[in-house]
Amino acid sequence: MQRFRKILVGVDLATSNRLVCSEPYGPSAEAVRRAIWLAELTQAHVSFLYSLDAEQATERLIEEHRGDQPNILEEASAAMLRLVDRAQATKVEATAKVTMGSSWRQLVRQAVIGEYDLVIVGTRDTGPLQRVLVGSTAMKLLRKCPCPVWVTRPPAPNPTQAILVAHDLTAVGHQALELGVSLSELTGGRLHILHALQLPEFDEAFPARIKHDDLERRKADAKQQLTTQATDFGLKSHPDISVVMGRPSDAILQAIDRHQIELLVMGTIARTGIRGLLMGNTAERLMPLLPCSVLAIKPKGFECPLDVDQLD
């Protein structure tokens, strides 16, 4: 069973009218809560990171502040220390750091330097159909962060009761299933495994050409492969395994609604050995539409496309 050793949490202390609040709110508060809960279960160390995204002129004014009142960085540090106290009250080892600069860049830098095996962040809801803005911190982390990224949405129950693994029968899908099995065993949540069977392009255009027996054989072969993998990972309970026809993004959204999924675990597509990540059409199409949290897995061989030495 996979266990998390080091968890990095991206904290947002800013609001529309304040650079620093006394504590995180909304999605960021959920990310903090989820990280502490998971660390309790896995005996992991949690690191909280808040990056104040300010222009150089503003940064200089902050650093030169000499009044009796604490400056913005001092207020942020105090808020982060309160998060450390909250984690330590549950016997979770925790540290906190306040930096300057782009949040997603600083999170990627810390994830690489600190060799974290999970990053957890929240994301602001922007409406029922566009929940994650392309270009947001969450999306950029999913594309560039070398370790798994858990994007949380509030509220979510503890423990997670329904987990969906979207498996494309590739190596990264295999990794996603391994992690999904671990989380299911860890939390006691019901595990659902989904594969969307896609046919060659010509057959997709002319489905009537496909023989029924051939289609059923393909479905049976895929289901057997998924069952074998889940068993090999030591899953004690019987998962719900579905093999369906159709576009993967549509199948995933339908499964999330049907089974009231709270966490989607899926792999992202990349060309291994190349400094950069191509998320693929399925992940790109899904991210703005997901009503649940998502845990995205990078394929083995993924290389961070950023030079971390230039991200200070």
Q: 245-300, pLDDT tens digit by residue?
A: 888 889 999 999 999 999 999 988 644 443 433 445 566 678 778 888 999 988 88
Q: What is the pLDDT of residues 74-130, one digit of tens each?
A: 889 999 999 999 999 999 999 999 998 888 999 999 999 999 999 999 876 555 444
Residue ending a domain, among 130, 156, 182, is 156
| Residue 304: count of CB within 10 angstroms of its CB | 18
State how many domains the chain has: 2
pTM here is 0.85
Q: What is the CATH number of the domain that holds 246?
A: 3.40.50.620
Domain end marker among 156, 186, 216: 156
The predicted model gives 163-176 an average pLDDT of 92
Residue 123 and residue 238 in one domain: no
Backbone angle region of 101, left / alpha / beta, with phi > 0 → left and psi within -120 to 50 → alpha: left
Do 198 and 117 fall into the same domain? no
Could you tell me if 143 and 119 lie in one domain? Answer: yes
- Based on the domain organization, do 178 and 41 belong to the same domain? no
- Give me the residues paired with residue 193 across strands: 165, 241
Q: Are residues 145 and 185 in the same domain?
A: no
Residues 113 and 187 grouped into a single domain: no
Rounded distance between C-alpha atoms, residue 254 and residue 245, angstroms = 12
- 220 and 119, same structural domain? no
51-85 burial code (b ≥16 CB/10 A, e <16): bbbbeeeebeebeeeeeeeebbbebbbebbeebbe
Of 144, 148, 152, 159, the closest CA to residue 191 belongs to 159
Residue 189: domain span: 159-312
Let me know whether 72 and 109 are in one domain. Answer: yes
Residue 65: which pLDDT band, with cuts at 50, 70 and 90? Answer: low
Look at residue 191 in the predicted model and tell me its pLDDT. 95
Encode 152-209 in three state secondary structure. ECCCCCCCCCEEEEECCCCHHHHHHHHHHHHHHHHHCCEEEEEEEECCCHHHHHCHHH
Residue 207 shares a structural domain with residue 137: no
- Asked which of 103, 121, 156 is the last residue of a domain, the reply is 156
Task: Among 12-16, 167-171, 277-281, name the one with the lowest average pLDDT.
Answer: 277-281
